[in-house]
Amino acid sequence: MEIIYYVVASLDGFIATPDGGVEWLSPFEGTGEDYGYAEFYASVDVLLMGSRTYEQALTFGRWPYEGKPSLVLSKRRLRPGRADVTVSADPPARVASHLQSLDYRRCWLVGGAALAGSMRAAGLISQYVVSLVPVVLGDGIPLFGQQGPRERLTLASSRAFANGLVQVTYTTRS
């Protein structure tokens, strides 16, 4: 099973402001360009996210992940308000094994940083798709919430957009 960390980051490596805000992304949304999102979303079977990412998604009004089962990893007691959302306190390796046992082929690691860091530390991320936004935040929530082992990656593709956003895809070495 592939676990893909598909994420947007500022040029200085933050995925959100210190308070979790993503308003800095507004100038890049609603432009008619989806940066390959629709194709990517159609390619994944299941979503994996941390509790803060889940709670933030609930504030968007309409659930942004229709048609896909979602698994929220959290040590906190959360009650999923949706039939397509499951909450687990299991460690990342057990969660990955469980998802694989359900015959999922591609999993989108939506975020956040703490979960991405623990998944990376466990060696579970097979692909990184990072959309670098030409914004320097100076502070915020980093791409990965914890340090992990050194990891050498292979560039699979890169694509530059007219508005300055650059999307890079890296795969892990086998």
Residue 158 within any structural domain of the chain: no
Average the pLDDT over 109-118 and give the result.
Answer: 93
Q: Which of 69-78, 116-125, 139-148, 153-162 has the lowest mean pLDDT?
A: 139-148
Task: Give domain status of residue 126, yes or no.
Answer: yes
Looking at the predicted structure, is the pLDDT value of residue 174 above 70?
Answer: no
Q: Is residue 172 part of a domain?
A: no
Q: Which domain holds residue 77?
A: 2-18+36-146
- Using the predicted structure, report yes or no on whether residue 120 has a pLDDT greater than 90: yes
Q: Does residue 97 sit within a domain?
A: yes
Mean pLDDT for the stretch of residues 138-166? 93
Q: pTM for the whole thing?
A: 0.94
Indicate the number of domains in the chain. 1
Instruction: Residue 132: give its domain's CATH number.
Output: 3.40.430.10
Residue 52 lies in a domain: yes
Give me the chain's average pLDDT, please.
93
Mean pLDDT of 67-94: 92
**Among residues 123, 119, 113, which one has the least CA distance to residue 9?**
113
According to DSSP, the β-strands at 2-10 and 127-133 are parallel
Q: Is the pLDDT of residue 153 over 70?
A: yes
Whether 95 maps to a domain, the answer reads: yes
Any domain includes 74 = yes
Who contacts 140 (Cβ-Cβ below 8 Å, separation ≥6)? 10, 14, 15, 16, 17, 18
Rounded to whole angstroms, the Cα distance separating 51 from 114 reads 10
Percent of the chain with pLDDT over 90: 81
Residue 110 lies in a domain: yes
